[in-house]
Structure 1
Amino acid sequence: MKTTGNSILVSGGGSGIGLALAQRWHDAGNVVIVTGRNAAKLESATQGRPDMHAMTLDVTDPAAIEAFAAEVTARFPALNILVNNAGIMGYEDATAARDLTLAEDTVVTNILGPIRLTDALVDHLAARADAAIVNVTSGLAFVPLPKAPTYSATKAAMHSYTVALRAQLEGRVEVIELAPPAVRTDLTPGQSTREGYMPLDDFADEVMALFAAEPTPEEILVQNVLPLRRAEANGSFAQALAMLKSL
């Protein structure tokens, strides 16, 4: 993936990992479009940054995605990179019958959202030079966090989907997976200051260095996520799961 001279769309780009990467890509000489449901956050993210643009989008709404895809490709015909970053995470107690609203919202946002947005833009991307799709998953795709079962499952699903999508789009669109470790963001309450979590700026700096590698790795994996990514292969899955269960 080229690191400069692109037009990059980042879903969930108003805060957290999406914002940090969007601003670094903008600093590197790319046109960047950030989306999300919170217009105020998007405007704050782009303030004082020429060629960084805000467009609201609710990725849980199929009709909104279709309308958005038509608008963004009309406004930015050079768009060649899609970063599926928007997602939600919550803790669940699955030991008894419960209200499944959070679980269902998580599936719609974290799986159907990126699948629908990719579908709406894939024809446009396939017609552009240096096109790429970046799917943001998680280290929890490889070892689940027991108290976040649906979130972990959605990220495992997106890992599998990304592998299959890469095979189908080979030679037409580059498909990259970015699997973060635990990072200090506002994804869950208290996470932005939680001890042991990776500082956001450190994470973003390491990610950008990995994207600059030639060729770009199929999986962007900072050092902190490797214990989870490699747990099954190196025989440490049970230990990793026990560690996550204790959190």
Structure 2
Amino acid sequence: MDLSNRTVLVVGGTSGIGRELARRFAAAGSTVAVGGRSPQALAELAEEGFAAFSIDVTDSVSVASGRDAVLARYPDLDTVVTMSGVMLLEDLREPAHFEAAAATIDTNLLGTIRVIDAFTPHLVRRGAGTFLTVTSGIAFLPFPPMPSYAASKAGVHAYSEALRAQLAGTGVGVVELVPPAVATAGQEKVNPHALPLDDFATEVMHLLSQDPTPREILVKGVLMHRWAEREGTYDDLVAQRSRALAMLPGRHA
């Protein structure tokens, strides 16, 4: 993928990985717009020179109006990144967890689908373009304290595979970014093994720039997760990660 002359929309680019990737695409020479829900973050990005659009992926009307505003300003948009996501702890023994599960699925999976649906006609009409979906190493190696997060990201993976098959021959590609734990929003304090954001973004941009672009963007730090079943390490790794259930209220190691 030539990163130097694209027109990119990063939905969910107001913080963390999305914000850093927006900056990296811009630094590579692409025109970059950012969509998100936080007015303060959008204002900050606008001060940096990004076009900022209010888009709430849980609201179909917001997604549609955001799409119309983006395409009015950038009719040559060729790359849509679906970054929006939430990570919530859930204790499946407590019925109250369902609220967190519903919010997670609505944002991570249905939100991704809403954005893709909104921009598919435009990209297909162009006859060229790319969807960059974002899953997680947790899609392939669950983190038991976050079951709906794992399920939602596994869903985005499967959806990305089906989308790629359905768009074959249209000129529109589908690339899946699979992050490991990345040190954003203080996660480096929670998870000392989290990959530094700068290192992660550098590796991602290198992989994206390859020709042909890989279907899955897998930094070295996520290979353990992605291929755990193939390597026969899945059961042991899930057992290790299950120790984190102690962080749930009322649970003990």
Q: TM-score, normalised by structure 2?
A: 0.92
How far apart are 1:244 and its partner, in Å? Answer: 1.7
1:10 and 2:6 matched: no
Give the match's secondary structure for 1:45.
Answer: helix
Structure 2: which amino acid aligns with 1:25?
F
> How many residues in Structure 1 have an aligned counterpart in Structure 2?
242
Q: How far apart are 1:3 and its partner, in Å?
A: 1.1
Which amino acid in structure 2 is aligned with residue 3 of structure 1?
A: L
Give the whole-Å Cα distance in 2 for the aligned partners of 1:42 and 1:90: 23
> Does residue 210 of structure 2 align to residue 216 of structure 1?
no
Deviations 1:46-68 (A, max 9, x none): 4233xx21111111001111121
Secondary structure of the equivalent of 2:118? helix
8 Å contact kept, 1:2–1:130: no
Structure 2 CA distance for aligned equivalents of residues 129 and 243 of structure 1: 46
Matched, 1:234 2:231: yes
SS at match of 1:34: strand
Give me the whole-angstrom Cα distance separating, in 2, the residues matched to 1:36 and 1:192.
24
2:43 is matched with which residue?
A: 43
1:218 positional shift:
0.1
Deviation at 1:74, TM superposition (A): 1.3
Q: Percent identity?
A: 43
Q: Which amino acid aligns with 2:155?
A: A
Q: Distance in 2 between matches of 1:48 and 1:90?
A: 30
For residue 162 of structure 1, the aligned residue among 141, 160, 168 is 160
Q: Which has the higher helix share?
A: 2
Does the CA contact (< 8 Å) of 2:132 and 2:174 recur in 1? Answer: yes
The verdict on how the C-alpha distance between 1:192 and 1:38 changes in structure 2, with shifts beyond 3 A counting, is: farther
Map residues 1-247 of structure 1 onto 2, 5 A cutoff: 1-49=1-49, 52-128=50-126, 130-172=128-170, 173-186=172-185, 190-193=186-189, 194-247=191-244
Contact in 2 for aligned 1:80/1:129 (Cα 8 Å): no
Structure-2 separation of matches of 1:127 and 1:96: 47
Runs of 4+ in 1 over 4 A off after TM superposition: none
- Partners of 1:13 and 1:140 lie apart in 2 by 20
Q: What is the Cα deviation at residue 91 of structure 1?
A: 0.6
CA contact (8 A) 2:25 2:32 kept: yes
| 1:129 CA displacement | 5.2
Q: 1:185 to 1:79 in 2, by over 3 A?
A: same
Q: CA separation in 1, counterparts of 2:3 and 2:126?
A: 16
Q: Report the residue type matching 1:208 in the other structure.
A: M
Deviation at 1:192, TM superposition (A): 4.0
CA distance in 2, matches of 1:162, 1:133: 9
Structure 1 alignment gaps of length 5 or more: none
8 Å CA contact 1:14–1:38 kept in 2: the answer is: yes
Q: 1:28 to 1:97 in 2, by over 3 A?
A: same
User: Aligned with 2:13: secondary structure?
Assistant: coil
CA contact (8 A) 2:90 2:97 kept: no
TM-score normalised by length of structure 1: 0.94
Asked whether the equivalents of residues 57 and 65 of structure 1 are also in contact (C-alpha less than 8 Å), the reply is yes
| Partner Cα distance (2:27, 2:153) in 1 | 29
**1:240 partner SS:** helix
